[in-house]
Each structure stands twice: as structure tokens, then as C-alpha cells.
Amino acid sequence: MPRKVCVVVTARPSYSRIKSALTAISGHPDLELQLVVGGSALLHNYGNVSQDMKDDGFDIAARVYMVVEGENLITTAKTTGVALVELATLLDTLKPDVVVTVADRYETLATAIAASYMNIPVAHVQGGEVTGSIDEKVRHAVTKLSNLHFVSTDRAAERVIRMGEDPDTVFVTGCPSIDLATAVLKRPQLDFDPFTQYGGVGATFPLSDGYLVVLQHPVTTEYEKAWEQVSETLWAVHESGLPAFWFWPNVDAGSDGTSKGIRVFRETEPSSRIHFYRNMRSEDFLRLIFNTRCVVGNSSVGIRECAFLGVPVVNIGSRQAGRERGSNVIDVGHDRTSIQTAIHRQSEHGRYPPSHLYGDGTAGQRIAELLACRELTFEKRLTY
Amino acid sequence: MPRKVCVVVTARPSYSRIKSALTAISGHPDLELQLVVGGSALLHNYGNVSQDMKDDGFDIAARVYMVVEGENLITTAKTTGVALVELATLLDTLKPDVVVTVADRYETLATAIAASYMNIPVAHVQGGEVTGSIDEKVRHAVTKLSNLHFVSTDRAAERVIRMGEDPDTVFVTGCPSIDLATAVLKRPQLDFDPFTQYGGVGATFPLSDGYLVVLQHPVTTEYEKAWEQVSETLWAVHESGLPAFWFWPNVDAGSDGTSKGIRVFRETEPSSRIHFYRNMRSEDFLRLIFNTRCVVGNSSVGIRECAFLGVPVVNIGSRQAGRERGSNVIDVGHDRTSIQTAIHRQSEHGRYPPSHLYGDGTAGQRIAELLACRELTFEKRLTY
Amino acid sequence: MPRKVCVVVTARPSYSRIKSALTAISGHPDLELQLVVGGSALLHNYGNVSQDMKDDGFDIAARVYMVVEGENLITTAKTTGVALVELATLLDTLKPDVVVTVADRYETLATAIAASYMNIPVAHVQGGEVTGSIDEKVRHAVTKLSNLHFVSTDRAAERVIRMGEDPDTVFVTGCPSIDLATAVLKRPQLDFDPFTQYGGVGATFPLSDGYLVVLQHPVTTEYEKAWEQVSETLWAVHESGLPAFWFWPNVDAGSDGTSKGIRVFRETEPSSRIHFYRNMRSEDFLRLIFNTRCVVGNSSVGIRECAFLGVPVVNIGSRQAGRERGSNVIDVGHDRTSIQTAIHRQSEHGRYPPSHLYGDGTAGQRIAELLACRELTFEKRLTY
Amino acid sequence: MPRKVCVVVTARPSYSRIKSALTAISGHPDLELQLVVGGSALLHNYGNVSQDMKDDGFDIAARVYMVVEGENLITTAKTTGVALVELATLLDTLKPDVVVTVADRYETLATAIAASYMNIPVAHVQGGEVTGSIDEKVRHAVTKLSNLHFVSTDRAAERVIRMGEDPDTVFVTGCPSIDLATAVLKRPQLDFDPFTQYGGVGATFPLSDGYLVVLQHPVTTEYEKAWEQVSETLWAVHESGLPAFWFWPNVDAGSDGTSKGIRVFRETEPSSRIHFYRNMRSEDFLRLIFNTRCVVGNSSVGIRECAFLGVPVVNIGSRQAGRERGSNVIDVGHDRTSIQTAIHRQSEHGRYPPSHLYGDGTAGQRIAELLACRELTFEKRLTY
């Protein structure tokens, strides 16, 4: 009987980071995929990812609404609680042999807790990395709740082991997001019209003269600060002279402030050559960034996928602080002058040599193989 | 303005393990105590601890019902979720400067998560210890969510630091439960009649011939197994020839099976010299165990307080596996013959020399002092 | 394609009151039964009814733990909330064509609300009756949320219509609990040994000399009052000279006090000839009450099934106030003298002529037939 | 000691409908106001009403995030569940003598249930009216849970009584929203610049040539249908030749589709003379509609306040079906031609004579007075 592997996906970025593993799991003869979709992955405002999943041929075993609206600190905690209540009932119904949880979001933590209390082994993808903000606490807490660790880098593996995890349970698989990028590299040209294909709002412009791609998430829950920070980036991009594709932020404490900043900017500067999207299919998105002059913002895409693709990145603020990075990244603070200068430098520089820091494109396959053959246990003990 | 210290207490044992700190916090000029009571600490079936708190002079800032009934794996996970939802609202109302969470229960985890997401510094009491079961996962996950660590032993401190916590945030305060034991040692005689004072059900007997004290919690969530395990202990105690005080288990997955085992035994062997309690005030309980011939079961009381008091202990099964222990403990498996042999040996042996392994009686004071003077921050990063 | 009929059962009494309809629905060619089990129907302490359901051959589509422990006013409200959250997810998965909700409990209300908001037609069994306590508010609120009304009596139908419901949606089916009683009447003798078959605790006694059956639920949420009320009944029964079978109460605000009262009585009066049960299969239970000298307490069984079976009843207090009743009932207050006098009178009287007040034994069949053929709609409007 | 009156407000329209009562309660010597704010009243996307409350001088006793994001049928049910869990804890803390719940929203129902189970008397404002959609079920269910009924019209009072409520508990106070309108009538001129005062997005235009005001909520939960319905209205307004102020819809199942329809229209027809708002203070809003040529949409404001103010209304679709209305309303279906024709007729007609159908401006005072002097009880029984 195949092992039942339950994967909980709750946001667009998590989907990109696990998709190749989903494909490998559902294609593996000894595994059966139970795909659970929740959180912002179900919400129109955040680009209903569940539709993409269906288009990609995945069956959705269950969908769980869990986001308590408010996008602040309190509601983030509450969302984790609602997720936990729901996932407990769900795991009791699905009875998986192992649960896979991705990265460091609040739903990641809820998934790991529900499975742990229900004596279901937990496999964690992307543990052992170091960043700023609450994600840092959550990521390592999830490591302590997990029984299998599929990490992206050697440094990450070393950290997970130093935290007291049994080395026999830690595997450097690389990040599955790199698998997608590998596939895209085989046919990297921008073979679709982003304006007609994805709608969105704002300016249209020719792509031939070069363009920026911006992804900026709130790092702070102070409404005013999130607003101010996104405004600095908006003005820097506007004044860079390059048109830009801009992606709306995740549901998170502070995203309200970010959205407000964007809305106000759009009213103030209607002539700005920025086009806004809520979402895009991962492969198309990767083609879009492969062909950009520079990626701007604070998304981990700039650190991971862009390293592999050799795309120049202007990384703003503290959100990615501590994460290993390639030579393609320039770090700047939240002021428009520094951002603009760095954009200029990166868009002049052109593509960097690719780096295999976050994987070689086989992560999904390796994860599926390990889930199929490794002993599954829910008990563990600190190694020291 | 004094710092507001929110302490969440959700079970009788947690109260014993934090009580001296509560006293010290509420007496400290620079601290203001916000005592939140929840979980089984509010339930009659588990010996409404909140009444003891009032009797001890503490003001209760809020009480939160959070236990989803079922006492199995699913409801434990759900309870954690309900606790999280409730505590988020509560922390938003109380706005503490720091939250204190105790040990390794599910509510401990819910408290740490709620505070973490709400950018409130978390202080964890009793991290760094090693045991069996789900507690092991939860304890270390809470460590990764916490900003201050008040641990009981040097080994525990070492482990917390090795897990990547900043050594400047780790303090060997000893366990506050030892503080209570210290107070009791000053007047250790059994100065009350346990039968008339606390009611309970079952046999009465003279105390002068010696008696046992039994505390056995379910370690497994298999209903039948919890039943079988408690039955082995019941028969071993019954056949030891010594009368016994027996305390009902915590609300936990499996406690249903334990309760059932006790009920069936009582019907089968009505002449058994066992008296059953749901609860007892901590100080009286400590006097009761100080004067026992032997403590039997799998409670951490046998490992901590009994080490300090020099009380002989028969520790059954895996629940305390991995925890540092004094010479006062004999470990046995879940079979009645081994348990009975060990009871015999320990009740012949008499009291052991006291051990300061888990503290010297000043933990509460030290914790209050550290909460008053240490810098409070909610951000942190792995040290390696 | 058969209509999918989701029935939510959350307590032992609700199961008895819907069982014949479940049988009829699952046997109907145009209907498909989706049986959801939740609340105390899953709890050992309240006699895990879900096991009976399996023994009776029903497939359980989902089980939902929802009871927040505390058995007080706050936790009853919270339980309704947790039930609502869970049932919403569940109904989204099951996608029934109609939801059946039974009587007037908090889960009844949660079921009706979840279905209403999800545009699923609601069928309510046992609306239109009048009683005391919170049940009265809840029952009529459920009527206002329901689209089909399967009531027990003509008076009930009249009341539902006067409340503004379309007469075309109101059907006097009788109560399905009477169907079970009809079946039992065909072979009414006590063909099993209640002591060996069902365990329980307390005295054993010969059945040939006559016995009482007691069912008393808390009507008040004052802990002390529930305790006192059950004590009065306990002493009256004890002093009646007749042995008794006593059934533990439902999970409800106050059941804690009732349980406590029973426990204290048992310790005080160990020689009492009372045998306590948590639960019994409905058919066996009906045989037990058919052969009793008198049913004592405040259960609606005394009003419904006992009317049909002609069993003498001593109905205590206000819980059934307002409910239509047959000549078999004597009403008394919560004092032991009145109770004892009434017990004496009823046990002297012997069986009453049967009454068809609450149905003729065809309710389940009629309900299934109506669910199969009536138009299903979720919209409605006040008729005046 | 003054009676503690807890009022739960969860949405902007509810605030307008209870504000004058809040003022009267907080000014009454025998009453103490406990104002609880939750739901969309806390959300930026729906025009954070809690800020208005503070500006209006009200103290907020507690704020409760409860909206589960998704704006569909499932999340509406879940939101009700989360609200119930939270409000139970909150009412236990606040211990009010009576709870006031407004109109017919899901939070209205959660409030009534929480209070009912906690034996707190419930006062319901705006019962007894008849409309379409789920509101109809909820409104009457709340009536059955309530102990005091403060209704707007004689017809409403008659309906509440016919539903079985004690006539002594039913009071025709009028609707408090009319109180606000009365105040505005004393100084009705548009004394502020809506563009500079409230921001918003979209076109600006001179007010002197006349303008429309549009409020359209989704009545259906089919995403596509909500989209289509709002599009019809958008095009009708666009083609009417009059500029318009347009208010975004409530959080509700379907509001996602409505928002999407608006966004697409704005991109398609950027030259349209429509200005969009999320919110406006009630008094300013009333001045805006007093001076409009015509109110368009399906808000109850068109039925209530506009009747009193004599403002012409084009009421679209079934949302207000069944509600008593004045001569100022023309009802049309969801097609742009009918809407446009009706707009034309109404804007030609000019103001209608005022109607006191929904009150005379003293509702708030009367409600406060009744809350202060009426006997408060949580028990009740059907009158027939």
C-alpha cells in the first residue's frame, strides 16, 4: 500500500517552493498525495492559487478557510489557532502516514503542531535557514517539531543538526523552487504577453526596452511604517525610468499598510509606468524575472531563484537578513535614493553567473524518494 | 511604571512549578502580575486550581476555557488551537511587557505562539530538559519561540545554548517547585488529616504504618494501553501490602483510559486500601510525599521535588526517560512484578540524602529579579 | 441521483429520537444518508454512542469533537461556536442536499446556522414544543432557520405555523422515538441481564421485586443548585425502598454539579440499592423502562416514550414544563418528600393505557418519504 | 448601581443604526455602556469604524477580530462560529446586565446566542421586518432568542408578537438611524468637500450640477453573478450622465465578486465620473444623500433614512423585498436599462415629502429609557 503523504499549501510562494515535490510525489508508485489547500491560497485577493493547482493537474483533497481578517499581529495568531483546529479534524479524516510542511509561515507551524499532537511524522522543507522577523522563531520551532528535514543548503543542514536533530534525518535536497527554475531555463524566453494573459491593473508598456520586477512584503506590523516603506520603493522605481511589474504582497500583518501605500501612489501618480498583479503562474513568473533587468524588493525569490537564474537583485531592508546569498544581490535600506542607485547599478550590470547555492534542480525528486523509503517515526529526542 | 508580566497557568502541576515565582513577581516593586488561568486549572474534574490561587491571594486577570473534550490526540491539537485564538484576544487586552510560559504542555506552546506573533517577549521556565513523548517536541519548540530561558539545571542550560540560543538569555534559576519544597522542609510533619481535609473517595487507613503515594499519567494515546498500564500499577500497589494515596491524572490524551482502569479496579477490588484524590494544595501534597514510604508512578514530581526531599521513588515506564535524576529513583517497566519489587526495596530503604539537582529554593526570587531587570526583546536569531 | 441527507447527531438522546428516521433514510432508494457524529456522542464519559451507531449498521461520514470542557454557561456557548466552525468545513466537503437537525440542543442550533449560511435547506425534527430553560429559546430559533418542520404533535404543528412558517412545510410525523418504542412493544420482556450486559457501577439486585429508573438532568447552571437538586432525588429514591437504575446526565451546563452530587451520595450511602449507568442501547433501555415500576426524573423520555408505553412517571421540576403530557405523569417539585410520595403512588398504580400523543410509530418512514419527495429550498419568508 | 449594557457593533451600517442609542445609553444616569467592536468595523478595507467611535467620544471596552476571510458562504458560517467563541469569553469578563444586538447580520446572531447561553437578557433592535435572503432567517431567529424587542414600525411589532413574543416586551421605538437623520435635517447643507475630506479614488466633479449616490451589496454568493449585477449598475450610472459617489460593499459572501466588478469597470472605463469611497462618517454621509438627486442600489438606507429625508431612491433587485417602504422608492431589476430609466425619473422628480414610517427621531432615547427601567429576564416562553 502506498504511503499517504499529506502536503498543506497555504500561500502562493509555498506552492512554488513545493510544486516539483508535489509532482514527484504524485508520480511515485509508492506514494499517494493528499493535497490540502488553505489560507491565502484560497483567496481571490491573493490570487486564488488553488485554481493553478487544478490547472497543473493536482487533485485537492480538502480546502480549509482559516485566515482571520485584519492583517495584524492579533489576527496572525488567531489564524494559526483556527488553522490548528481545522487541520486536526482534517488529519483525522485523511489519516496520512506523513505530513509535509513548507518553510516558516504561521500555517506551517499549525500544520506541524497538529501532526505532532496526532502522532503523525512531520517532514519539513526549508529548515535551518536564518532570516529576520518572526519567521526566524517559527522556522526553528517547526524544526523542533519535525522528524525529517529536507533543507536547501549545506549550512542549513549543519544548523539543523547543531540544534539537536539526528543527522540521519537531515537531507540536503536543495530547494524545490530551483527545480521549477531549471525547467524554465530550458525555454527561458518570454513567450506570452503579460498584459493580455494576466490582466492586472496599471500602465502597459513595451517589454523590449527592459523592465523591473518588484516584490515587496511588509516586515513590520506598524501600519504607517509598512506604508512608508512601500512608498520609498514605489518612488524609487517610478524615478528609475524603467517600467515595472509589481506583485501585491502576501496576507500578513502589515499587508494592509502596503496595499494602502500602493493605492495612494496610484492615485497620486497615475502616469507611472507600473503594472500591478496579484498573481501569475510560477513558470510564467520565472520567465518574467529571467528576462528582467533587475528584481527589486525583499522576497526570498531574489535570494533563491534569482541566484540560480543569475538575475540581478536589489534586496531592500532586513527581511532576508541572514540568508545565504549569491553575488547577484545588492542590499540596501528603506530609502528611495539608495534603492534607485542600486537599481541603476544592477540594471547596468546584466545577468550574473548562475549559482547552485539553493539546489541543482532535483529537490522534488529527492524529497519524494526520501518520503518513500525512509523510516517514518513521530518520536525523537535531542541528540545531546 | 512596573513591567506587566503575564503568566498563563493551565494545570495543577504548572501551578506548583510557578507558584513561588508568582509570589515573587507580585511582591516585586517593578513588576505587575497578570495571572491568566485556563485549561484544566478551571475544571472541577481536575481539581479546580483557580480556587487555590484565590486562596493563595492571587488576583486572576482572566480565565479561559479552552479544553476540547475527548482526551485524545485530535482534541489535544484542537485545544491548542482554541487556546491560541483565545489567548490572542486576551494578550491584546492585557498588553503585557513579557509573557511567562511553563514547561511543555500544549497550552505552553499556544501561549508562546500567541505572544511571539504579537511581538511580546516570551520567558520560558523549565526548558532544556529531555524526556519521552510529545512533551519533548513541544518543550524544544517553545525554546525556539522564547527570548528568556529560566532553566532548572546546568545541563538544561547547556542544551538550550547548544540549540542556538544566546547564552546571555539563559539563566540557571532552578525549578520554582523546589522553592515550595524548601518552605515545606521547615515544617515537614503531616499536620492535617488527608481524609477529612480533602475528601476524595476510597478506603481510609491509619497513616502511622506507612503509606504510598501514586501519580500515574497516561503516556500513550491508545485507550487500551493506558488502561492496561494503570492496571499493572494498581495491582502492584494493592499487593504491596501498603495503603496508598492515589492522584487522578491530568487532562491528556489517554486520561480517559487511565480513569476507566481506575474505575474498573475499584469495582473489582472494593476492599483495596487505596484512597483517591483529584487534587490537593501544593504544600499539603509536599508534606504528604515527604512522609511517604515511597512515591510510585511517572510524575516529574518523583524526579524533581522528591530528589530535593530525599523521598524514595519508583519511576515507571518511559515518561521521565532522559530527565536527570538523583539516587532516589528506581526505574521499572510497566509490569506489576517489577513495580512491586521496587516498591518493596524503596520502602525498606527509607529517605535518601537530599539533592540540589533541580534547585536550591530561590528560583522564584531569581526569576522575578531577572524579569524586572533584563532587557526585554522579542527578536532573536540563531547564534550559528 | 439520490438526495444526500446529512444528519448531525451529537448526543445519546438525539440518537434515540432520530434512529428510526436514519434507518428509513438509509433504506430509501432516493436518499443517501450522511451521518455526522459529534459532541457528547463521541465521548466515553457520556457513553460513546458512535459505537452503537456502528453496531446498528450505520456508516459514519465524519466525527467532530466540539465540546469545550467546563459544563457551564460559557463553555456551552463556546461549544456552539466550535461546532459551527467545524460544521461549516464539513458541510462544504459533504455537500448535502438537505441537513436534518434534531430537537433543541446547542449543536442543533450550530447545525441549523451552518446549513443556513451555506444555502443548504434545513429540516428540523421536534420543533413547536414548549418547555422551560434555554431549550425553549433554541428550539424556536431553529424553527426560524428551518425550511421543513417534522413535528410530533398537532399542537406543535399549530405553533410552528403561528410563528410564521408556511403550512405547506409543516408535517405532523410524530416523534421517531415512538417508532423505537413500537418495535420494542412487539417483544417487551426484559430479555437481558442489565448488570452483566452493561456493567455500570453500584449495587446489584433482583429485578423480580420491581425497580425504578431515574434520569435527571441539570436544569440550572448553578453548581450548588444542580448538586442539591440531584441529592433530593437520590434520597427520595433511596428511601422509597425500591432499587433503581440511574443514568448519568448529558454534557450540559450544570452536569458537573449533578455528577458531584451522585459521587458524594455514593460515598455517603454505599449500601444504597442504586446501580449507575452511563449509557444503554436504546432498545434495551426501552425494555428496561417498560418493565419498571416508575420512571423518575426530568427527562423527556418520561413525557414521550413513557406516554406511548403507559409507564408511570414522576416528573421533577420545571425542565418539561409546558410540554404536552399524558395521564401517566405526576409532576412534583425538587423536594424529597414530594418525590417519594409520588414514587409510591405511581409504583402502586401500575401501567397506564398507552397514548399516541407523540406519534404512532411511523415517524421515521414519513420523514424519509418527505425528504425524498418534497421540494427543497433554502429561502423562505414570514407568512405575515 | 447602574445597569451594564453591552452593545456589540460589527459593521458600519450597524453603527449608524445604533449610534443615537449609544449616546443615550452612555448619557443615562442608570446605565453604563460597554461597547464591543468587532467584525468589519475593525477592518481598514471596510473603513475602520472603530476610529469614528473614538472620535465620537465612545470608549471601546473590547475589540474582537472575528472575520474569517473568503467572503463566501463557508466563511460566513465560520465567522459566526469564531464570533461566538470570542464573545462567550468576553461576556464572561464584562458581565453585562443586558446585551443589545442590532439587526440581522451573522454577528448579530452570534451575539444573541452567546448571551442566551450565558443567561444574559438580550435586547434586539430592528426585529420584525421582512426582507429577502439569509437575513430573513437570521432576523427572526434572533427574535426568538431575544427578551426585549425594540422595533421600527407598527407592522414589525405586530409580526414579532405574532411570532409568539410577549407583547409586554415589544416596543415601537423607531429606528435609531432616523435619529441621526433628524439631527442632520437641522443643518442639511453639504458643508464639507467630500473629495478633500475623505480621499477615496476615482473622478472628481463639481457638486452643483447634481450627483448620484450608489450603495450596492451582493445578494448572491455566486461570484460571477455578484460581478454581473454590479456591472449592470455601474454601466447604468455611467450612462445616466450624472456623476456619482459610490460606496464599497460590506464584508459578505459575494463582496469579492462585487469588488472585482468595480475594479474591472474602473480599468475599462477610466474616464467614468464615479468617485469611490470605503466609508464616511454617518452625519456627513446623511448630508451627502440629502443633497443627492437620487440614491441607487439595494441598501436599506434607501428604505429607511431616505424615506425620512424624502430622497428619491432607485432600489435594485430583491435585497429589500418585503420591507415596508415610502413613496420615494422605485423598484427595478438587475438590468441597466431599467436602472437607467428609473434614475432618470427619480432625478427629475426631486425630493419627496418626508415619511415617519421608520421613526420620529427619538428611538435612541426611548431605547435607553427602556433598558434602564424594564424588568430584565433571560427566560421566556412562547405565548401560545
| CATH superfamily label, B186-349 | Glycogen Phosphorylase B; (3.40.50.2000)
Q: Is the pLDDT of residue D24 over 90?
A: yes
| Partners of residue D78 in chain A, C-beta under 8 Å | 65, 82
Rg of the Cα atoms in chain D: 20
| Amino acid found at B127 | G
- Give how far C199 is from chain B: nearest CA, Å: 10
Q: What is the mean pLDDT of residues B135-163?
A: 97
Cβ of B141 within 8 Å of Cβ of A136? The answer is no
Residue B328 confidence class, pLDDT cut points 50, 70, 90: very high
Residues paired with C34 in a beta bridge: C6
Q: What is the mean pLDDT of residues C316-328?
A: 91
State the pLDDT at residue D253.
67
Residue B219 confidence class, pLDDT cut points 50, 70, 90: confident
| Partners of residue C64 in chain A, C-beta under 8 Å | 89
Percent of chain B with pLDDT over 90: 74
The residue assigned the cell 549543519 is A158
- Give how far A187 is from chain B: nearest CA, Å: 39
The residue assigned the cell 468637500 is D193
Give SS3 for D245: strand
Q: Is the pLDDT of residue A111 over 90?
A: yes
| Partners of residue D89 in chain B, C-beta under 8 Å | 64-65, 86, 89-90
CB pairs under 8 A between C and D: 155
- Give how far A227 is from chain B: nearest CA, Å: 19
Residue B220 confidence class, pLDDT cut points 50, 70, 90: low
Among candidates D65, D260, D263 on the partner chain, residue whose Cβ is nearest the Cβ of A70: D65
| Touching subunits for chain A (3+ Cβ pairs under 8 A) | B, C, D
Residues 6 or more apart whose Cβ sits within 8 Å of residue C1: none
- Give how far D107 is from chain B: nearest CA, Å: 17
Q: Is the pLDDT of residue D179 over 80?
A: yes
State the pLDDT at residue A267.
83
| Partners of residue A69 in chain D, C-beta under 8 Å | 43, 45, 65, 67-69, 251
State the pLDDT at residue B257.
83
Cβ of B82 within 8 Å of Cβ of D85? The answer is yes
| Partners of residue C144 in chain D, C-beta under 8 Å | 137, 140-141, 143-144
- Give how far A75 is from chain D: nearest CA, Å: 7
State the pLDDT at residue A251.
62
Q: Is the pLDDT of residue B94 over 90?
A: yes
Q: Are B322 and B241 in contact (CB under 8 A)?
A: no
Give SS3 for D214: strand
DSSP H helices in A270-313: 282-290, 305-309
Q: Is the pLDDT of residue C71 over 80?
A: no
| CATH superfamily label, C3-174+362-373 | Glycogen Phosphorylase B; (3.40.50.2000)
Q: What is the mean pLDDT of residues C283-303?
A: 95
Q: Which of D160, D78, D83, D77 is nearest to D123 (CA)?
A: D160
Q: Is the pLDDT of residue D382 over 90?
A: yes
Question: Best residue in D69, D223, D279 to probe A by mutation, most A CBs within 10 Å?
Answer: D69
Cβ of A81 within 8 Å of Cβ of B77? The answer is no
Distance, CA of C102 to CA of C125 (rounded, Å): 5
H, E, C per residue of A77-124 = HHHHHHHHHHHHHHHHHHCCCEEEEECCCHHHHHHHHHHHHCCCCEEE
Is CATH 3.30.1330.10 the classification given to domain A184-349? no
Q: Are A7 and A35 in contact (CB under 8 A)?
A: yes
- Give how far D120 is from chain B: nearest CA, Å: 19
- Give how far C36 is from chain A: nearest CA, Å: 12
Q: Is the pLDDT of residue C252 over 70?
A: no
Instruction: Flag the least confident range among B112-116, B280-284, B368-372, D166-170.
Output: B280-284
State the pLDDT at residue C11.
86
Q: What is the mean pLDDT of residues C200-213?
A: 92
Percent of chain A with pLDDT over 90: 74
Longest dimension (CA), chain C: 61
Give SS3 for B215: strand
Residues 6 or more apart whose Cβ sits within 8 Å of residue C81: C110, D80, D81, D82, D83, D84, D85, D86, D88, D110, D114
Closest-CA residue of A relative to B131 is A381
**CA atoms within 13 A of residue A45's CA, in its CB half-sphere:** 22
Residues paired with C123 in a beta bridge: C100, C148
**CA atoms within 13 A of residue C45's CA, in its CB half-sphere:** 22
Q: Indicate the DSSP class of residue D128.
A: T
Cβ of B93 within 8 Å of Cβ of D62? The answer is yes
Q: When comparing pLDDT for B13 and B2, which is higher?
A: B2
Instruction: Flag the least confident range among B65-79, B308-322, C133-147, C294-308.
Output: B65-79
| Partners of residue D219 in chain C, C-beta under 8 Å | none
Instruction: Flag the least confident range among A260-274, B146-160, D162-176, D214-228.
Output: D214-228
Q: Is the pLDDT of residue A253 over 70?
A: no
Across C163-288, the runs of DSSP E, i.e. the strands, are: 170-172, 201-202, 212-215, 244-247, 274-277
pLDDT in tens, D65-117: 999 988 788 999 999 999 999 999 999 989 999 999 999 988 899 999 999 99
pLDDT in tens, D297-315: 999 999 999 999 999 999 9
| Partners of residue B60 in chain D, C-beta under 8 Å | none
Q: What is the mean pLDDT of residues C53-74?
A: 91
Answer positive or negative: Cα dihedral of B252, B257, B262, B267.
positive
Q: What is the mean pLDDT of residues B240-251?
A: 88
| Partners of residue C141 in chain D, C-beta under 8 Å | 141-142, 144-145
Residue D165's Cα: distance from chain center in Å? 24
Closest-CA residue of C relative to D160 is C163
Q: Which of A179, A194, A356, A358 is nearest to A289 (CA)?
A: A194
Q: Is the pLDDT of residue C119 over 90?
A: yes
Residues paired with B329 in a beta bridge: B313
As a whole number, the mean pLDDT across chain B is: 92
Q: Is the pLDDT of residue D219 over 90?
A: no
State the pLDDT at residue A133.
75
Helix, strand, coil percentages (3-state) for chain D, rounded to 5, are: 45, 15, 40
- Residues in chain D whose Cβ is within 8 Å of chain A: 42-45, 65-70, 72, 74-75, 78, 82, 201, 223, 251, 256, 260, 263, 267
Cβ of D87 within 8 Å of Cβ of C106? The answer is no
Question: Best residue in D79, D84, D124 to probe C by mutation, most C CBs within 10 Å?
Answer: D84
| Partners of residue B81 in chain A, C-beta under 8 Å | 80-86, 88, 110, 114
| Amino acid found at A8 | V
Give SS3 for A17: coil
Cβ of C201 within 8 Å of Cβ of B78? The answer is no
CB pairs under 8 A between B and C: 52
Q: What is the DSSP string of B11-60?
A: SHHHHHTTHHHHHHHHH-TTEEEEEEEEGGGG-GGG--HHHHHHHTTPPE
Answer positive or negative: Cα dihedral of A333, A337, A340, A344.
negative
Among candidates B88, B130, B163 on the partner chain, residue whose Cβ is nearest the Cβ of A381: B130
Residue A331 confidence class, pLDDT cut points 50, 70, 90: very high
Cβ of C382 within 8 Å of Cβ of D134? The answer is no
State the pLDDT at residue C251.
62
Cβ of B69 within 8 Å of Cβ of C67? The answer is yes
- Give how far A65 is from chain C: nearest CA, Å: 8
Q: Is the pLDDT of residue B11 over 90?
A: no
pLDDT in tens, C332-368: 999 999 999 999 999 999 999 999 999 999 999 999 9
Q: Is the pLDDT of residue D289 over 80?
A: yes
Cβ of B70 within 8 Å of Cβ of C42? The answer is yes
| Partners of residue B74 in chain C, C-beta under 8 Å | 65
Q: Is the pLDDT of residue C249 over 70?
A: yes
Other beta carbons within 10 angstroms of residue D302's beta carbon come to: 29
Task: Encode D280-295: b = buried (16+ Cβ within 10 Å), e = exposed.
Answer: bbbbbbbbbbbbbbbb
Start-to-end C-alpha separation, chain B? 36
Give SS3 for D106: helix
Closest-CA residue of D relative to A80 is D68
As a whole number, the mean pLDDT across chain A is: 92
- Give how far C287 is from chain A: nearest CA, Å: 37
CATH 3.40.50.2000 domain span(s) along chain A: 3-174+362-373, 184-349
State the pLDDT at residue B125.
97
State the pLDDT at residue D200.
82
State the pLDDT at residue C221.
62
- Give how far B296 is from chain A: nearest CA, Å: 25
As a whole number, the mean pLDDT across chain D is: 92
Residue A281 confidence class, pLDDT cut points 50, 70, 90: confident
State the pLDDT at residue C271.
87
Among candidates A85, A130, A143 on the partner chain, residue whose Cβ is nearest the Cβ of B78: A85
Cβ of D93 within 8 Å of Cβ of B64? The answer is no
CATH 3.40.50.2000 domain span(s) along chain C: 3-174+362-373, 186-349
| Touching subunits for chain D (3+ Cβ pairs under 8 A) | A, B, C
Instruction: Flag the least confident range among A156-160, B313-317, C184-188, D32-36.
Output: C184-188
Question: Best residue in D64, D89, D117 to probe B by mutation, most B CBs within 10 Å?
Answer: D89
Among candidates A42, A75, A78 on the partner chain, residue whose Cβ is nearest the Cβ of D70: A42
Q: What is the mean pLDDT of residues B362-366?
A: 97
State the pLDDT at residue D133.
75
- Give how far B236 is from chain C: nearest CA, Å: 23
- Residues in chain A whose Cβ is within 8 Å of chain C: 62-65, 82, 85-86, 89-90, 92-93
Q: Is the pLDDT of residue D363 over 90?
A: yes
